[in-house]
Structures are given as C-alpha cells and as structure tokens.
C-alpha cells in the first residue's frame, strides 16, 4: 500500500513532465515540432507511455491549454484589480484588454492550444470545467459596468471576439503588429466611451 502511493506519485510526476515538456517544446518550436516521438524522447520514455497517460496527442494539447486558461485568468484578475484601484472602469477594461493581447503575443503556442486547436474542451457548457469560465468571468466583470442597457454577457462575448480577432490576425501577419496599441485603444474606446 505504501509503495502503491509512491508509484501513483511517480506516475503523476511523469504525467506532469509530459505536459510541461509538450508546452516547452511548443513554445520553443511551435506545435508542429511536438510529435509523439520527439516528446517521448524528451521525457526519456517510449512512445506508448504517452498513451497510458493520455488518449492521444490532442489530449496532451488539451492539458497544456488548460494550464493556459488558468494562467490567463490569473493575469486578467491581476490586471483588473490593479487598474480598478488606480483608475476607473475604463482603465480596468483597458488593463484586461492589454493583458489579454499581451498573453496572446507572448505565449503564442499556449494561445493556439487554447483557441485554435483542442476543440474537445466544451466552452458554452455550464457544466464545463470552471477554468474555462474564470477568464471569461474576469472579462465580464470589466465589461459589466459599461453595459448600459445591453446584456453584459453577450456584450462581453463581443468584446472578447474583438480581442481574439486582434490577437489572431496580428499573430498570423494579417495585420501589422506595429499598430497594435492604436487598435487596442480604439477597441477599448468603442466599449468604454468616455471617463477615466
């Protein structure tokens, strides 16, 4: 029994190493470089070991994406609370918007795993994992004071779409990144008309 817990612990550590290695590899060389063979070599085990932890490569990417959602939510919370103390509702919205696009730009592989791959995560489902809704909740709290007569949830979704569009179009080179700040300012301005 005592040895049983040790093996469980070692197994959990190995699983954590798989996810961490996949993430590091993706952030360093992109998801195309994350192959099951390469990943197995990095953790110094054979390929089939991966499949004793995850159902497949997609599940590994989902695990990485889940980490991303946790970190993004944390970043948004920090940004919003800091700006709320310093400025008004507009500053809070600008702060979360900035934090969001910074996250997307600085961790592109993580953002890809969260929002362009790994569709198996259920988003709109109220029964879905909390981690998926935490980040949205931060956006919601920043948008809500500015909703006026509009539905805060739907308005937040729309604002989020704006951020996501900026992040993806700039990342892929469809929009030149040099004007990012101005676009962000315009987007925030359209959702938070006046004050500070």
Binding interface with DNA (CB under 7 A)? 1, 3-4, 6-7, 11, 34-38, 45-49, 51-52, 56-58
Number of residues that bind a second copy (CB under 8 A): 33
CB of 69 closer than 8 Å to CB of 114: yes
Shortest CB 183 distance to a second copy, Å: 5
- One of 2, 124, 127, 194 touching a second copy (CB under 8 A): 124
CB of 101 closer than 8 Å to CB of 167: yes
Question: Rule CB under 8 A: is residue 182 a binding residue for a second copy?
Answer: yes
DSSP characters for the chain? Answer: -HHHHHHHHHHHHHHHHHHHHHHHHHHHH-GGG--HHHHHHHTTS-HHHHHHH-SSHHHHHHHHHHHHHHHHHHHHHHHHHHHHHHS-HHHHHHHHHHHHHHHHHH-HHHHHHHHTS-TTS-SS-TTS-HHHHHHHHHHHHHHGGG-TTS-HHHHHHHHHHHHHHHHHHHHTTSS-GGGHHHHHHHHHHHHS-S--
Please name which of 146, 138, 132 lies closest in space to residue 187, comparing C-alpha atoms.
146
DSSP 38: H
Shortest CB 49 distance to DNA, Å: 4
- One of 55, 190, 195, 196 touching a second copy (CB under 8 A): 190
Could you tell which of DNA, a second copy, none binds residue 194, using a CB distance below 5 to 8 A set by kind?
none
Could you tell which of a second copy, DNA, none binds residue 81, using a CB distance below 5 to 8 A set by kind?
none
Binding residues for a second copy restricted to 156-175, rule: CB under 8 A:
157-158, 160-166, 168-169, 172-175
- One of 119, 128, 130, 195 touching a second copy (CB under 8 A): 119
Shortest CB 152 distance to a second copy, Å: 11
Could you tell which of DNA, a second copy, none binds residue 5, using a CB distance below 5 to 8 A set by kind?
none
Question: Rule CB under 8 A: is residue 47 a binding residue for a second copy?
Answer: no
Q: What residues make contact with a second copy under the rule CB under 8 A?
A: 115-116, 119, 122-124, 150-151, 154-155, 157-158, 160-166, 168-169, 172-176, 179, 182-183, 186-187, 190-191
């Amino acid at each position: 029994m005592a040895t049983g817990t040790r093996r469980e612990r070692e197994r959990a550590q190995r699983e954590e190493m798989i996810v961490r290695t996949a993430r590091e590899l993706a952030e360093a060389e992109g998801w195309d470089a994350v192959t099951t063979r390469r990943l197995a070599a990095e953790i110094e085990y054979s390929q089939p070991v991966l499949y004793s932890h995850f159902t497949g490569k997609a599940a590994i990417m989902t695990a990485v994406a889940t980490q991303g959602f946790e970190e993004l939510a944390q970043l948004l919370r920090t940004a919003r609370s800091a700006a709320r103390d310093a400025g008004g509702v507009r500053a809070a919205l600008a702060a979360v918007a900035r934090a969001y696009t910074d996250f997307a730009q600085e961790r592109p592989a993580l953002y890809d795993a969260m929002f362009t791959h790994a569709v198996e995560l259920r988003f709109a489902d109220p029964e879905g994992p909390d981690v998926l809704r935490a980040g949205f909740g931060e956006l919601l709290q920043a948008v809500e004071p500015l909703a006026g007569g509009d539905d805060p949830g739907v308005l937040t979704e729309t604002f989020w779409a704006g951020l996501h569009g900026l992040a993806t179009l700039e990342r892929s080179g469809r929009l030149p990144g040099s004007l990012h700040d101005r676009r962000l300012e315009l987007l925030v301005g359209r959702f938070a008309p006046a004050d500070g």
